[in-house]
Amino acid sequence: MEDQKNQNQPIPFKKASSWKNVLGKKWAFPAIYIGTAAIILAFVMWYQSGGVTDNLPGQAEGGIAITTPQEGAKDPSEADENSAVPVSGTVQQLAWPVAKGVQYEKGMNFFDEQASKDVQQKALVKYDNTFMPHTGIDLKSTDGKSFDVTAALPGKVSKVENDPLVGRVVEIEHADKMVTVYQSLDKVNVKPGDEVTQGQVLGTAGRSVYEKDAGIHLHFEVRVDGASVDPEQYLLQSEMQDQ
């Protein structure tokens, strides 16, 4: 009878484990996620700070990457020095654009924005009751006659035209974005596309409406990267003195 009573008694439920109780809390999974992330982050920081003694190729001690220049690569400092070379250091000096044996002198100078007002006034061209800065230098023979005009540098003729204001014009392209311009020409011996050598005759000096007071002369300009510059900073000074 006792065994039968024991079998009829209800079997008590087992208590839930403590882990199930913890996991049943709302904060359980976020806490586990944050803790795991903290462990991983600590391991990564330990690894980068030198916890691993064997450095990877291209990596210095302490986890700092090392960039090894490839064979034949140029030193960046050398590239900077080459790019900083001024134009005057890469372009040969210009010869005066007048044929040998011609006795000549300078007329109007280049208008220098840094010069004094008195000097600037002497470099202004008066045309149609307006004063304009002179963008080159004028050369004329001492006897007032026409003379042969020559190329100041070797280059390629890029323009030949007859301008009603400044007369016949020849433009020559050179290295380093330099262009030489020859205006007030009477005759022209070259055409666009011609390759010319230094000292080659381009034409003869003449007159222009724009500088009528200058008489027979050559208006000579130098442009670097499209901007007019003082030609005398590129011309051979000794050559002018020997004339």
**Mean pLDDT for the stretch of residues 77-84:** 40
Q: How far apart are alpha carbons 103 and 141 in whole angstroms?
A: 6
pLDDT in tens, 181-200: 999 999 999 999 999 999 99
pLDDT, tens digit (0-9, with 9 covering 90-100), for 85-130: 344 445 568 999 999 999 999 999 999 999 999 999 999 999 999 9
Average pLDDT score, the chain: 78
Q: Is the predicted pLDDT of residue 140 greater than 80, yes or no?
A: yes
What is the Cα–Cα distance from 41 to 207, expressed in whole angstroms? 84
Flag whether pLDDT at 82 surpasses 70.
Answer: no
Q: What is the pLDDT of residue 79?
A: 39
Distance, C-alpha 24 to centroid of its chain = 69
DSSP letter (8 states) at residue 47 = I
Residue 104 pLDDT: 96
What are the chain's domains?
Answer: 16-73 (no CATH), 91-242 (2.70.70.10)
The proportion of the chain whose per-residue pLDDT surpasses 90, expressed as a percent, equals 58
Q: What is the pLDDT of residue 195?
A: 98
Q: What is the DSSP string of 57-126?
A: TTB-TTS-B--PPPTTPPPHHHHHHHHT--HHHHSPPBPPSB-TT--EEE-S----TTS-HHHHHTTEEE
Pick the more confident residue, 27 or 169.
169
Q: Which two tokens stand for residue 21?
A: 């109780």
Q: What is the pLDDT of residue 239?
A: 61
Q: What are phi and psi of 39, to 5 degrees?
A: -65, -45
* Better-scored residue on pLDDT, 136 or 46: 136
